[in-house]
Structure 1
């Protein structure tokens, strides 16, 4: 057994996960740090998945009658357990997803933050009082629990995205059935152990939270089951195109967080010191494997040479290696398939006339794993490969002459998740944020496109799917709306002045 596997086993034990490994399991858990096998797990059968959904539905029928502030106490217990186990769960994220230490811990902090938000929300699930045109009538709307929420998550945020959904769903009165990525099952089991302990302390119904282990056949059960009124899915646009029509066919709801092809416009007035820091973090953090990673820099021709030179110098200093080392800033790609996609995208960019500025090769790191040197490619135009999302640290540089041209390049791609502009010109900044500016769900000024806070709604438009998670009024996706009219008069006037009899 490798050192990484031993460490993972010890962490799972401290999190309260009973030994999940079986010698003849069909699902292999590996660490991208060195490619080693951590253990083998047994996938759930479709029948077991359906049974878990049934238990969750039964739990929902009890949970929905619990007052929302009391439901908030359950999430409070979960938040406290996450604080207690932050170091362990963060380390498990690093071991299984390859995130550097600070990002693994940061992901758990996101979970804690959303629990805090949800606790407050449990006392603020507000409806509206609405003016009625009929005398002696009161009209209002209420928000009621929805049912079982299915969550399908990706490897790159193996625990935070689940928590964005689960914390809100729990206080809204819903049950949650989670299908994590096959690449990051252990972190899901760790979270489930903490949820079960929080549930024991708070006295929640059995089955309120469940984890389904397996491949897409298990996920398809969740997608197709009519007892799951909402499926929240995070992943590729290709995956979303498969899930959305299946859920729609049974008239269910989807909350989709799909691909991104995020850009930063760098204007002539940009503070280049700040810009370089923002670009580097957004482009190479998590080894470019965030949905909000910076893929394109659209830089004004007057500052292009200086910006590219400074970016190349910064890239040359990036420590690449095991994410468990505190000094590392760039960890591994998740697997060999990700490395091949990186390599193929670089080849296509070169074939399209792109000039490799720096990086683009495999980095020599002891112990195996797929580590690469983050690449910058100067492109003559926004070609097909630039418009595609490559889940790796690959940054394309495009040049513009005026802001209209920059916005046209920015909005030309099919995805619409996150965006940014670096400028000290208030007119440029406000134009970028206006209706004729960025067409993304997230638009930032003088920070990169990644690193969203819990308080704002997270999500994007176009092929990103249109879903919103986390803060603002994203909680409404997990509830159903009822409009109520109460007649407290002795008459029965009809709306719109209709007379009958």
Structure 2
């Protein structure tokens, strides 16, 4: 019998009362651990987080809470080797992919520790300047104060470390307790990180809780002043939005959902070898890092019609060199999908896309290294192509969450913009060109339908942070089908965890609040 990972709720570690779900190594199929949340008293646990954890956090200043985040980052760094071993076993990722998740989470904590230190010894934030309401000195000052509830963070399977800390860091800095519900398939790493932080006594009791498995009535335990932050599928997001807590009690919700992200080689760069190579390298990286299991990965590639064959050949040649298989093998550069269920979902999605697009590079031709194809959840990178972009429907609507992308030609700038926007809102689009004016114009033209526009020119060839790499200093989220939410973006992330209120009073009263 595999070990059962305990949940941390109500200020104590407690096991579920059911059989639970078994987490498996996606390469070998070996049973690793079990998760279970059956029988947990969620209402009592959430009340403890609000009343005990919330009160303790709000009693601290921003600078004091920032110092806590710094100590959490140090604690995680001390256990990093353990996290890497868990990621290899439970997520099937090669070391570089594990580092993106683990180090990304630690880096995000460090960034918010530094940002919070700059907020100083205050417990609320001014929002704009005072506005005079009458001829006398009667004014309105908007303020932001920490939410008097908890933040329930429901995370996806692909980033069990970063997904935890990119939500928890700004929440804790804001003074809001966090209950994290990781995706079951990869919950081990999230649970272990929470365990290390809780056992080290770094945060006030009730400030950080973790619930693993499939708890019944998770959203039923939410109250009107709570927050819900979700990363996952658009179908699940729709169900969350329809729940009583959101629809009737107005629980504030932030959604990050499906996204058919794009890369665009501008018309003026069709004959520029340097720019074309930047596009090719980034596409291959985005298709293969974490086996394409990133919400920000490139799914559609738009190139001038005259460059279609050249780009197709260059991407296919690089993909052919990608070794796929057991992440423990030194020659493997791309590991596995997280589960057999995810492997099947990718197969189904790929079959759907192939009903209208052709094969430019067949991932099925990759022999697996040190892995049994009948057991391992490995998929070779697959490049599809559709010469008539206007005829495409599924390629603009289907996100295959794996190492799959589709190449599409365009006639001119207007045609390219029209095709990219058929994604109906995405997390990120990357633009490749050499002319700064052309790149700037393209970036602004796409800003209304993308949470982030990543512009790559030759002068930043070795400096840019990557199409799919979410930096805490920049916004993460997107309009439309991407969920309509916003995360990170530096101190902007704190807005979700604060309530804005207008204080109307004399200038003397407003001056007495705190030094401005």
Q: Where on the TM-score scale, by shorter chain, does this alignment land: which range?
A: 0.7 to 0.9
CA deviation after TM superposition for structure 1 residue 65, in Å = 2.1
CA deviation after TM superposition for structure 1 residue 414, in Å = 2.9
- 1:486 aligned onto 2:486: no
Deviation per residue, 1:281-308 (Å, 9 max, x gap): 1122111111011111111112111111
CA deviation after TM superposition for structure 1 residue 340, in Å = 2.3
**Partner residue in 1 for 2:50:** 57
Note closer, same or farther for the CA distance 1:469–1:145 as it changes in structure 2 (3 Å cut).
same
> Secondary structure in 2 aligned to 1:468?
strand
Please say if residues 21 and 40 of structure 1, whose CA atoms lie closer than 8 Å, have aligned partners that are also in contact. Answer: no
CA deviation after TM superposition for structure 1 residue 240, in Å = 0.7
The whole-number CA distance in structure 2 between the counterparts of 1:458 and 1:353 is 30
Note closer, same or farther for the CA distance 1:329–1:438 as it changes in structure 2 (3 Å cut).
farther
**Partner residue in 1 for 2:140:** 139
CA deviation after TM superposition for structure 1 residue 313, in Å = 0.7
Deviation per residue, 1:9-44 (Å, 9 max, x gap): 9xx9xxxxx999999832111121222211223323
Deviation per residue, 1:96-131 (Å, 9 max, x gap): 122221121222222222222222333426413323
**Partner residue in 2 for 1:493:** none
The whole-number CA distance in structure 1 between the counterparts of 2:441 and 2:321 is 35
Deviation per residue, 1:301-337 (Å, 9 max, x gap): 1211111111111011012122234543211112222
CA deviation after TM superposition for structure 1 residue 187, in Å = 0.9
Please say if residues 100 and 326 of structure 1, whose CA atoms lie closer than 8 Å, have aligned partners that are also in contact. Answer: no
The whole-number CA distance in structure 1 between the counterparts of 2:199 and 2:357 is 56
**Partner residue in 2 for 1:111:** 105
**Partner residue in 1 for 2:512:** none
The whole-number CA distance in structure 2 between the counterparts of 1:316 and 1:20 is 48
Please say if residues 411 and 438 of structure 1, whose CA atoms lie closer than 8 Å, have aligned partners that are also in contact. Answer: no
Note closer, same or farther for the CA distance 1:41–1:350 as it changes in structure 2 (3 Å cut).
closer
- 1:445 aligned onto 2:446: no
- 1:332 aligned onto 2:336: yes
Choose from 392, 406, 410 the match for 1:396: 406
**Partner residue in 2 for 1:318:** 322
Choose from 370, 383, 393 the match for 1:376: 383
Choose from 88, 95, 100 the match for 2:94: 100
- 1:256 aligned onto 2:255: yes
**Partner residue in 1 for 2:38:** 44
The whole-number CA distance in structure 2 between the counterparts of 1:489 and 1:211 is 45
Note closer, same or farther for the CA distance 1:222–1:192 as it changes in structure 2 (3 Å cut).
farther
Note closer, same or farther for the CA distance 1:185–1:98 as it changes in structure 2 (3 Å cut).
same
CA deviation after TM superposition for structure 1 residue 227, in Å = 5.9
Note closer, same or farther for the CA distance 1:466–1:291 as it changes in structure 2 (3 Å cut).
same
**Partner residue in 1 for 2:459:** none
Choose from 397, 402, 406 the match for 2:416: 406
Please say if residues 312 and 360 of structure 2, whose CA atoms lie closer than 8 Å, have aligned partners that are also in contact. Answer: no
Deviates more, 1:454-463 or 1:101-110: 101-110
Structure-1-length-normalised TM-score: 0.87
Please say if residues 459 and 468 of structure 1, whose CA atoms lie closer than 8 Å, have aligned partners that are also in contact. Answer: yes
The whole-number CA distance in structure 2 between the counterparts of 1:239 and 1:101 is 31
**Partner residue in 2 for 1:226:** 223
Note closer, same or farther for the CA distance 1:335–1:449 as it changes in structure 2 (3 Å cut).
same
The whole-number CA distance in structure 1 between the counterparts of 2:379 and 2:508 is 73
Deviates more, 1:414-423 or 1:148-157: 414-423
Deviation per residue, 1:448-497 (Å, 9 max, x gap): 5311212112111101112111233121101111221221589xxxxxxx
**Partner residue in 2 for 1:291:** 295
Please say if residues 194 and 209 of structure 2, whose CA atoms lie closer than 8 Å, have aligned partners that are also in contact. Answer: yes
Extract unaligned runs of 5+ from structure 1: 13-17, 491-501
Extract unaligned runs of 5+ from structure 2: 7-11, 457-463, 510-516
The whole-number CA distance in structure 1 between the counterparts of 2:86 and 2:418 is 42
Note closer, same or farther for the CA distance 1:24–1:161 as it changes in structure 2 (3 Å cut).
closer
> Secondary structure in 1 aligned to 2:228?
strand
CA deviation after TM superposition for structure 1 residue 370, in Å = 1.4
Note closer, same or farther for the CA distance 1:411–1:386 as it changes in structure 2 (3 Å cut).
closer
> Secondary structure in 1 aligned to 2:469?
coil
The whole-number CA distance in structure 2 between the counterparts of 1:274 and 1:414 is 26
- 1:130 aligned onto 2:148: no
> Secondary structure in 2 aligned to 1:169?
helix
The whole-number CA distance in structure 2 between the counterparts of 1:415 and 1:397 is 19
Choose from 149, 161, 164 the match for 1:162: 164
CA deviation after TM superposition for structure 1 residue 221, in Å = 1.8
Please say if residues 169 and 176 of structure 1, whose CA atoms lie closer than 8 Å, have aligned partners that are also in contact. Answer: yes
**Partner residue in 2 for 1:498:** none
CA deviation after TM superposition for structure 1 residue 67, in Å = 2.0
Deviates more, 1:296-305 or 1:35-44: 35-44
Deviation per residue, 1:327-357 (Å, 9 max, x gap): 4321111222222232233333333252443
Deviation beyond 6 Å, 4+ runs, structure 1: 18-24
CA deviation after TM superposition for structure 1 residue 278, in Å = 0.8
The whole-number CA distance in structure 1 between the counterparts of 2:365 and 2:14 is 37
Note closer, same or farther for the CA distance 1:322–1:20 as it changes in structure 2 (3 Å cut).
farther
The whole-number CA distance in structure 2 between the counterparts of 1:350 and 1:292 is 22
Choose from 434, 438, 457 the match for 2:444: 434
Please say if residues 44 and 212 of structure 1, whose CA atoms lie closer than 8 Å, have aligned partners that are also in contact. Answer: no
- The number of equivalent residue pairs is 473
**Partner residue in 2 for 1:214:** 213
CA deviation after TM superposition for structure 1 residue 385, in Å = 4.5
